[in-house]
Chain A
């Protein structure tokens, strides 16, 4: 008879966010595969710890499974930062699968003090601005932007813009107050946090994605029986990554349609020439990423080639 486990699953977004359901589904799937011996309870909204601490919480056993944004701590997880680079990933499901399949072997090095479960991305997302439309890289000059992550922050600086930092719930407020002119945000979350009420121009292009991982406490995993470990492993693979990434992607994409349906909103696409100018402008970011990765002893160029191949395999490489 296997020992039973009650896993504390922790995340930091509101319970109304699609991630809550994704994690509940994940727990249900594990419970089923383990014959009911592994149960999970999801704790939303930072009830067990702050967003920034979720990796450490799984490592230290404060929670058992956590949802982590590795980009919150610049410098700590340089390799997975590849996923944040502009105009690279074009689809939520395929992007999640492509990233996860590629990252598995690097996770053993970069996230070695936890049991790595899976990696995924939110849907390709872009600029939402209040007064000025952003079409080409030069437009960012002089604008105050709330960036999604450190990579986008560097891009904004590179283009002559100014970064304004804030937590996600504060975004609406700082745009409303004119503290920021715009934000890079997925469209569904834009509506969820009410930021669509204070923005007018919405670029519809695969400008960036944010990468996320689920990680698990190592001791908990090691205490499990072979059958229970298999139940976990079967829910911590590339296929599961796609299952987590897809519904969230759909939720975010539905946001684009919601915004389009609202009065006075302008949603616009980019021409191939405009896209090319963005790609050209973002080249220094690829170099910065490679420099950070090389310090860890990993061949950055090979890693980037592998990532692009993996994304292409899952039909998620931005053109």
Chain B
């Protein structure tokens, strides 16, 4: 059998196993090792399993994942989201659609210390949704804003998906994090504009509140010192702000997790149960992510032997579509895949094949990291499958999927426009990380 045929059979088997709900990492590992055994030899393939598993879990740089996950669970469980929402609400809550704008702002603040978009969405389903409903906001809008606002969790640093992209492509995770800042702020601004436009077009759809006195606004601001301090210290240390200790990404994660823990402990927000719950949640997710990383590496060695990435690169660049044509093709493929699977699985499965194409076409790898995260995050909110939507549905029991998807549509449109802007102006993603170099 030709190596091409083996590669094709490998992909078919992989998709069949995944659709039968075999964990993605285990499916990749199984197909990868079987293919390697067939093409090279059985003993070597088995050795590959032990070697890859042990090497992956003991790689210091990969420690960035459990550390930022742990920081995120401490932050979520210590309820900093409530203060963020209250502070934002004090300033914009009285505008038409103001609670929606406040939700976006608070999601952004929360995203600055939590690396997960699903966790951001889950947190604000509990914090912002009841408030919006109390003031008469429609269900579809309230859930839509939270689903979209949640995606900021992966865009603004820290970001688990960006870290995984950095691991797979061997790009500097610190630079990837910093690259997400401007696109993340752009996303916040565009979401806020979208809400304002909705309010203008359909004034009866979104209510207006009363402006609180300035004293209350200032009081609200006092509540957000903890997230601000964490962000400044962790991301500032990563960026290299003056007067701060310098961190590598793994160190930033470890310091952030310990910082979030200490703040939670001394302000009395983290009791024994919450500490234990945070540790457990971080461990479970880290183990799930590492399983996929191990499987993807083994599958990748199988692909190396079949030369699939080179062949895909030759094929795509040989189509005569030009770099942007190929890029568009890749984006469409991701939007389709987004109907099937979650962001993390998509990144780990596809980036090893797509990244060589992107480098060959001369695109900036840091910029592409931002683009790809935006694209897979879109998958989290567009129908028929969307993790953020699932999570919101699990917290807000009395809402239907179609209602949430209806509410999220305007934001999907905004995201597509933002994607085009980022492709047209790559500097939005690359400028800030370049400033890190000059110091």
Name A's B-contacting residues (CB within 8 A).
8, 43, 47-50, 52-53, 56-57, 60-62, 165-167, 169-170, 173-174, 176-179, 197
Contact = CB atoms under 8 A, between A and B. Distances in A.
Contacts of A49: 48, 51-52, 55, 301
Nearest to A10: B304
Most chain B Cβ neighbours within 10 Å, of A56, A174, A176, A177: A177
B231 interface: no
B184 interface: no
Given A173-B174, A174-B248, A179-B247, A62 B304 contact: no
9 contacts: A47-B301, A48-B304, A48-B305, A61-B40, A62-B47, A177-B240, A177-B247, A177-B248, A179-B248
A162 to B, nearest CB: 14
Contacts of A61: 40-41, 43-44, 47
Contact of A165 (B47, B59, B60): B60
Interface residues of B, number: 27
B366 to A, nearest CB: 13
Contacts, number: 65
B141 to A, nearest CB: 43
Contacts of B301: 47-49, 62
B59 to A, nearest CB: 8
Q: Considering the complex of A and B, which 4 residue pairs feature the smallest CB-CB distances, nearest first? A: A177-B246, A60-B47, A61-B44, A178-B246
A8 B172 CA distance: 29
Contacts of B55: 49-50, 52-53
B58 to A, nearest CB: 9
Interface in B301-359: 301, 304-305
Contact of A166 (B44, B174, B248): B248
Given A170-B248, A176-B240, A177-B247, 10 more contacts: A49-B301, A60-B43, A60-B47, A61-B47, A62-B40, A62-B44, A170-B61, A173-B174, A176-B439, A179-B247
B170 interface: yes
A49 B48 CA distance: 8
A57 to B, nearest CB: 8
Given A62-B47, A176-B436, A43 B61 contact: no
A47 B302 CA distance: 10
Given A48-B304, A49-B301, A179-B247, A173 B172 contact: yes
B51 A53 contact: yes
A94 to B, nearest CB: 35
Contact of A47 (B43, B251, B304, B437): B304
Interface string B163-175: 0000000101010
A43 B251 CA distance: 32
Contacts of B436: 176
A288 to B, nearest CB: 25
Nearest to A174: B248
Interface string B43-78: 110011001100100011100000000000000000
A173 B44 contact: no
Contacts of A178: 240, 246
Interface string B210-248: 000000000000000000000000000000100000111
Contacts of B300: 47
A56 B304 contact: no
Contacts of B240: 176-178
